Amino acid sequence: MKINLEKIREQKSLKELIEFSIINIDKPANPTSFGVDTIVKKALGLRKSSHFGTLDPMVTGVLPVALNRACKLMGYFIGKKKTYVGIMRLHEEISKEKLQKEIRNFVGKIIQLPPVKSRVKREERQREVYSFKILEIDGKNVLFETEVEAGTYIRKLIHDLGLEIGGAHMLELRRTRVSIFGEEESHTIYEFLDAVEKNELKKILIPGEVISKILPVVEVKKEVIQKLYHGSPLFKKFVVGEKKFKEGEKICVFCREKFIGVYSVISHENVLGRAEFVLQPLK
C-alpha to C-alpha distance for 158 and 139, rounded to whole angstroms? 17
Q: For residue 180, what are the β-bridge partners?
A: none
Q: How far apart are alpha carbons 25 and 66 in whole angstroms?
A: 10
Instruction: Tell me the C-alpha distance between 92 and 102, whole Å.
Output: 14
Q: Is 56 a catalytic residue?
A: yes
Say how far apart CA 110 and CA 125 lie, in whole Å.
Answer: 8
Judged on CB neighbours under 10 Å (0-12, 13-18, 19+), 257 is: middle
Label residue 197 left, alpha or beta by phi (over 0 means left) and psi (-120 to 50 means alpha): alpha
Of 56, 138, 160, 194, the active-site residue reads 56
Catalytic residues: 56
